[in-house]
Amino acid sequence: MRTAQARSERLLVLAPTGRDAELVRQVFAAAGLVAERCSAVEELCARARDGAGALLVAEEALTHAAMRAIAELVRAQEPWSDLPVLVFSSRVDAYTAVGDPLRALGNVTVVERPLSRGALLSMARSALRARRRQYAAREVLEQVRVAVRQRDDFMALLGHELRNPLGAIDMAGELLERGNDPARPLAVIRRQTRQLSRIVDDLLDVSRVTAGKVVLRTGPVDLVLLGHRVVEGQSLAIAGRAGVELSFVAETPDLFTTGDEARLDQVLSNLVSNAVKYTPRGGHVRVTARREGEAAVLAVADDGIGISGEDLARIFEPFVQVSSALDRARGGMGLGLTLVRGLVELHGGTVHVHSDGIGRGSVFTVQLRATARPAVENGSAERHEGGAYDVIVVEDQEDVRQTFLSALEQAGHRVRGAADGSEALALARERAPDVAFIDIGLPGMDGYEVAAALRGEVANETLLVAVTGYGLPEDRDRAIAAGFDLHLTKPVSLRRVELLLRQRTSARGHG
């Protein structure tokens, strides 16, 4: 079957004698042009509707019926189309008078016979050139049409996405009004407001990235830490609830790049949350970091719903969503991957997607430029220009608590330790800490109760970090419900803790 492209380039020839048409065909073929002979006007018109570069018609073939048929074809053209018609005649004068009967054929050129081979070719080429511009215009129109449709879909989607959190906030307000226990409605309001800001941030980010207005604050980025952090954060927030097992493997122990840490975090978080979102309960998401030659590679592989071949090419476009209604219910606006690609490209990197098809999982791969480990990585106090933090560590095991406290102290923070919940509450009332690390298995009040009490009391601004021996999804769910921001599994690496504290500063810096 001919491609649409080839059809749009062909010259359709209508001549009463096969010999003329064959001659013409040969002349064109020698010049690399395709001419097809049509034996009747009906055939000419039918083929032209399928696509043609120009019509070449001998005057003798232009009976009244043929004129009517071609005129009808021309009349029915789409607005972008102005099909060139070349009529070969020995009596050009007859057609140049006022009331030219050929006018009904539209973009018609009357060509005097006999015609030199060179003149024939040059006319055909110029007709084809004009025709190509028309097809190009059609393409642009089509793109605009698609963009407008996507924008309309997007507006509808945006409305929907905004309505959900607004509805929840409204309802929480009503509960407060009726004098209900404020803890739950307040938690709803906080969570839904965060969701709303995320939507607004995405919208602003995408437009800033596409307009090239994002300025990267670059520095050395430890991609292994980044991987740990993103996976940990998402395990707590989403993966646990979705029943998806999320893991991170650093295939290369040291992996650094130069970039904007917060932006790269955003890239990986987006990919991981998509992978979780598009993977059914019981599935797996595996994040790996490795070096490949000069490249630092982050890959997010899932065994979820997969992506069809034709959609692979589109999903990075803005507002594109290809999933079924089932997945739609999980929200999103088709902006995440656009943002991912924009941010990765700002870093001079690339992002690719691979899927073996629907139901066969997906792999997103980000390639960045690998750089050497920075000299002062893991240095101490100077990394805390943001200031020391006020940290409370709640841990009943004396040794563990003391080690943790002295490490934090050495790094320049103000630290206080508590062996149980009531001690922790007392300390927090004295002065609200920036961060509290709370062991879950405490005597008396357990860590969940401590967190809930702290949240209720003093610590709205405090980052609450659960520290447990288990990383089970249920634990994480419970930790969130109790008001924790983060969930770390023992043993807690000090490097991770430092990073958390640093993030805390940058989060505040932005706010």
Which positions lie near ligand ADP, rule CB under 6 A? Answer: 274-275, 278, 302, 304-307, 315, 320-323, 332-338, 362
User: Shortest approach of ligand ADP to residue 270 CB, angstroms?
Assistant: 6
Q: Contact 281/243 with Cβ under 8 angstroms? A: yes
Q: Which residues contact 90 (CB under 8 A, 6 or more apart)?
A: 59, 112, 113
| Nearer Cβ to ligand ADP (334/447) | 334
- Are 469 and 441 in contact by the 8 Å Cβ rule? The answer is yes
In 165-294, where do the E strands start and end?
Answer: 219-222, 245-250, 256-259, 284-292
CB of 307 to ligand ADP, least distance (A): 5
Nearer to ligand ADP, 89 or 279 (CB): 279
How far apart CA 344 and CA 418 sit, in angstroms, is: 43
Residue closer to ligand ADP, measured from CB, 80 or 316: 316
The smaller minimum CB distance to ligand ADP, of residues 338 and 468, is found at 338
Per-residue DSSP letters for 352-368? Answer: EEE-SSTTS-EEEEEEE
| Cβ closest to ligand ADP, residue 53 vs residue 304 | 304
What are the structure tokens assigned to 99, written together?
């009331």
* Euclidean distance between the first and the last CA atom of the chain, given in angstroms as a whole number: 59
The number of residues in the chain equals 511
User: Whose CB is nearest to ligand ADP?
Assistant: 332
| Separation between Cα atoms, residue 72 and residue 49, nearest integer Å | 11
Place of tokens 């071609």: 70
Q: Pick from 162, 8, 169, 177: which is nearest to 78 by CA?
A: 8
| CB-nearer residue toward ligand ADP: 163 or 184 | 163
Beta bridge partners of 409: none
Q: How far is the CB of 216 from ligand ADP (least distance, A)?
A: 21
The 3-state secondary structure of 475-502 reads HHHHHHHHCCCEEEECCCCHHHHHHHHH
CB of 291 to ligand ADP, least distance (A): 24
Least distance in angstroms from the C-beta of 329 to ligand ADP = 11
- Say if strands 414-418 and 295-302 run parallel, antiparallel, or are unpaired: unpaired
Which CB sits closer to ligand ADP, 199 or 436?
Answer: 199
Tokens of 173: 């307000």
Q: Smaller CB distance to ligand ADP: residue 198 or 431? A: 198
CB of 320 to ligand ADP, least distance (A): 6
Instruction: Compare residues 130 and 196 and give the one whose CB is closer to ligand ADP.
Output: 196
Q: Shortest gap between Cβ of 501 and ligand ADP (angstroms)?
A: 30
Instruction: State the nearest-atom distance from the C-beta of 205 to ligand ADP, in Å.
Output: 12
> In angstroms, what is the minimal distance from the CB of 237 to ligand ADP?
15
* Alpha-carbon span 411 to 450, nearest angstrom: 26
Collect all residues with Cβ–Cβ distance below 8 Å to 365 and sequence separation of at least 6.
Answer: 297, 298, 299, 300, 351, 352, 353, 354
